[in-house]
Amino acid sequence: MGIFLNSAVLIAGFFMLYFGAEMLIRGGVNIALNFHVKKLVIGLTLFAFGTSSPEFIVSFFAGLRGSYDVCVGNVVGSNISNIFLVMGIAALIRPIKIHPQVLKIDMPVLLGITALFVLFCFTGVITRYMGAVLFVFLAGYVVFQLKNRRETDVLSIPPKPGNVKIVKNFIIVLLGLTVLTAGGHFTVNSAVKIAEALGISKLLIGLTIVAIGTSLPELFASTIASAKKEGDISAGNVIGSCIFNIAFVIGIVSMFFPFSVPKEIVSFDNYYFIFGLILVSLSVYTKKRIGRKTGILLILLYVFYIVFIVNRSMG
């Protein structure tokens, strides 16, 4: 199969990941609303899981293939894409005002889980034990949301349940999972073959093409929310997705497939993600929002990052 055909399969895989995640979110949210689950809980758990599901499926299939560079590159690259590209574009469309609860709870949680992941990366290997610790961290965060967050602290856009039957929504969820799984299979297989054909590293493919592709749900959700003046949704979607990417995706995948961490991730990419978090945090804590100037800066820094890692791979 040539590069052109593999590229077409890769693009098709991205579309399947996006639409699969969309079906999973919509069906799951409608089911939750029918059972009178709080909208806040839906936003911080199901919505965040749904937008992170492409990263999980792709990383899991990469683990099955033994392509661990694609696995870890996808997660780290997706988080970098979320902070710099997704947050930047959303802020460029409309300055993002941040809810005080996000400043007090969610941003510190993201900084904490990132610090824990970076410490684990210094060992060179993400073990099953480390994955379990990350997953337990996530479980504690979700339990906290269930017990302590108020109904008014909504960070997502819950669709109206209407009179849609629960059975129909279960079918939608199953279809979403099926499409996601197929999309993940096509994405990983084609991405690996493209990397091999072009003679470039699987890590670069994971950090760039695959990472951007699996970030499409976050990109669409955040930009639409920003256009609708829902700043909390844009920020909450990005922050929640980054938390799930590290704690859920890396946590679960490493429990099945312990993997080594490429030295590039340890020496640069993790630090660049932390740099983005600090930049966003400074803007948020000083101005209580992420303005257009900060958004432009984030986008330019993402372009710099892509250029840098491409040159790094070629050197």
Reduced to 3 states (helix: H, G, I; strand: E, B; else coil), residue 28 is helix
Taken in order 85, 219, 17, 177, the sign of the CA dihedral is: positive
Specify the number of domains making up the chain. 1
Whole-structure pTM value: 0.83
User: Which of 42 and 174 is assigned the larger pLDDT?
Assistant: 174
Average pLDDT, the chain: 82
What pLDDT digit, counting tens, does each position of 1-37 carry? 578 888 888 888 888 877 887 787 677 767 766 766 5
Q: Which residue range forms the structural domain that includes residue 179? A: 3-314
What pLDDT digit, counting tens, does each position of 132-147 carry? 999 999 999 888 876 7
**Residue 62 maps to which CATH number?**
1.20.1420.30
What pLDDT digit, counting tens, does each position of 184-243 carry? 778 877 887 887 787 888 899 889 888 888 887 777 777 776 776 766 667 777 888 899
Task: With cut-offs at 50, 70 and 90, classify the pLDDT of residue 126.
Answer: very high
- Residue carrying structure tokens 């792709």: 58
Q: Is the pLDDT of residue 277 over 60?
A: yes
Are 27 and 173 within 8 A, CB to CB?
Answer: yes
Helix or strand (DSSP H, E) at 260: strand 259-260
Looking at 29-43, 78-92, 239-253, which range is the least confident one? 29-43
